[in-house]
Amino acid sequence: MSTTVEVATEDAVAMTASDLEQEGVFGGTVGDYTVKDARMQCRGVDVYYGEKRAIKHVSLDVGKREVVSMIGPSGCGKSTFLRCLNRMNDEIPGCRVTGTIKLDGIEIYDKKLDVVPLRAQVGMVFQKPNPFPKSIYENIAYGPRIHGLTNNKAELDELVASSLRKAGLWDEVKDRLDQPGTGLSGGQQQRLCIARTISVSPEVILMDEPCSALDPIATAKIEELIDELRENYSIAIVTHSMQQAARVSQRTAYFHLGDLVEVGETNQIFTSPNHKLTEDYITGRFG
Amino acid sequence: MTEVTKGHTVRKYDKELSNARKLVLEMGAQVLEQVRKSVSALGEGDIGLAREVVDNERKIDACELDIDEAIFDLIAKRQPAAIDLRFILALSKVAGDLERAGDKAAQIAWCAIRLMGRTSRRPASKKILHHIHSLDQVTRRLLERSLDALAKVDVDLALDVFEDGSQLGDLAGHQSGSATADSHEMLEDGSELDDGFDAAIRHAMTFVFEDTQLVGQVLDVVFVLRALANIGDHAGNIAEQVIFIAKGKDVRYQNKEVLIDALRERKA
């Protein structure tokens, strides 16, 4: 009689937090920061605000059709890192970024690169909904118009409608497209901003705490939308809500004082993180 | 030993976790006492003690309900993650194992009551009870050690339970869910397992050959042996949960000998 039994190999046994602690708190990022099908590849990224080093040699991929969430206590550098991905930090005086960040294999910090099309390719949704003080229609139409994405009014109308549909807002606003975007509720405004981002056909959408100003129902709608958008876009999201990171993302990256401490499958990070700092943070023991 | 006691920012969360843990450990202590009393009632022919065990079973069931409620509250209010989540899930499973171990203690007590009826209220012969005595010692030590491992979240103690559990297999011939390829080979060889449960049954059967009226008593003894072996198995399950808490690794249905080697080697 022969019986095969599942055997726990040495590799299969997770390192305990204490094992890792002995190796040094910042002995490099724990977990594989690469993905097979990367849309963006960041390697050895450092960010300085004047003399202060805000991001310390961070390497991380953003895969195609995935949501990667970045979590960590306030001031850990997660938003700073996110803003490197479409050169938003260029706007901050004294901010310096080193290392390489590639979008589809092209270095985005190349001096010859025009940031305007880059920011269309890598769109951003902010913490507070920031619609233009214009009509709902114009909020969406503005981007495609300046990027010359449509040839005539009919095409533009169709693009506005499809963007609003993708953002799950069409049914709520189709009869009042000429009314101001600022007249919508907070959750609707945020979806309008997402529709605005989608309208210029981005490859990557960056979201910086997109739900922190919203109520739970509006938050749920945005989360549902993120899940749908994942089929066509790469999404990197910074969130203070660990439950949100657990719900919406496939991979999670934990930042601490400018270091990328651990990155891994979201399920693994939230059930058996390998680094003590990650565990302490997600269990609410500090942060 | 794994650190699970470092405080949360929300201190009330610590209290709630520690309360759930306390409830489970208290339940464990009660089940241990139930097992001790049930076997003692059997050995001494003490019907009063056996009835006490049967009555106390309801208290054990109530403990499980309390633990479930505490765990529901924790999950609903705190959305535990990582080690807290593993700890809470493990406590829930341990409570289930303890409840079933408590049932087995009550079954032993019922056997004691039946045996007293069969023997005209005289304790059963020491010879018949011989194997029960040895098994009781091992079983209670296993349960005690598994609870100790849980209290301290101590992987080494949990591994000791797996190691000692194999003694239980030798004594009772009991195959747990963790039966290994080796133990199947033993079964084929008919060596060690024959020395255990089969030997205990054969020994008990000799009493039947001598006096057929002892069939009822012998059957009760077999029930008790099986119940004790099951309790030992629940202790093994508790030890598996300790590994799950500490290592984040689900080791149920795995070859325990290989697991012990892997974890001890890693430590060394």
DSSP percent split of chain A into helix, strand, coil, nearest 5: 35, 25, 40
Which residues contact residue A175 at a Cβ distance below 8 angstroms, ignoring those fewer than 6 apart?
A: none
pLDDT attached to residue A11: 36
Interface ipTM: 0.76
Provide the pLDDT confidence category of residue B168 given band limits of 50, 70 and 90: low
Test A18 with B3 for CB contact under 8 angstroms.
Answer: yes
Q: Is the pLDDT of residue A86 over 70?
A: yes
Choose from A69, A275, A285, A286 for mutation: most chain B CBs within 10 A: A285
pLDDT attached to residue B126: 76
What is the C-alpha to C-alpha distance for residues B16 and B80, in angstroms, rounded to an integer?
Answer: 12
Query: What is the average per-residue pLDDT within A173-198?
Result: 95
Whole-number average pLDDT of chain A: 89
Share of chain A above pLDDT 90, in %: 86
Higher pLDDT, B264 or B228: B228
**A8–chain B Cβ distance below 8 A for any pair:** yes
Query: What is the average per-residue pLDDT within A32-39?
Result: 94
pLDDT attached to residue B12: 92
Residue found by looking up tokens 């949960």 in the block: B241
pLDDT attached to residue B59: 97
How do residues A36-51 score in pLDDT, each as one tens digit? 989 999 999 999 999 9
Looking at beta carbons, which residues of chain A come within 8 Å of B76? none
Instruction: Compute the half-sphere exposure of residue B47: CA atoms within 13 Å on the CB side of its CA.
Output: 10
For residue B135, the distance in angstroms to the closest alpha carbon of chain A comes to 27
Query: What is the average per-residue pLDDT within A5-28?
Result: 42
How do residues A118-143 score in pLDDT, each as one tens digit? 999 999 999 999 999 999 999 999 99
pLDDT attached to residue B219: 87
Query: What is the average per-residue pLDDT within A269-279?
Result: 94
For residue A236, the distance in angstroms to the closest alpha carbon of chain B comes to 22
Contact residues, A window 231-260, toward B, CB-based 8 Å cutoff: 242-243, 246
pLDDT attached to residue B196: 54
Looking at beta carbons, which residues of chain B come within 8 Å of A244? none
Within 10 angstroms of residue A200's Cβ, the number of other Cβ atoms is 21
Looking at beta carbons, which residues of chain A come within 8 Å of B6? 280, 285
pLDDT attached to residue A112: 93
CB distance B18 to B72 below 8 Å: no
Q: Is the pLDDT of residue B94 over 60?
A: yes
Query: What is the average per-residue pLDDT within A112-119?
Result: 94
Q: Is the pLDDT of residue B124 over 80?
A: no
Q: Is the pLDDT of residue A97 over 70?
A: yes
pLDDT attached to residue B243: 95
CA distance to A138, A155, A173, per residue, from A176 (Å): 12, 19, 5
Query: How far is C-alpha A269 from the chain's CA centre?
Result: 17
Test B85 with A270 for CB contact under 8 angstroms.
Answer: yes
Share of chain B above pLDDT 70, in %: 83
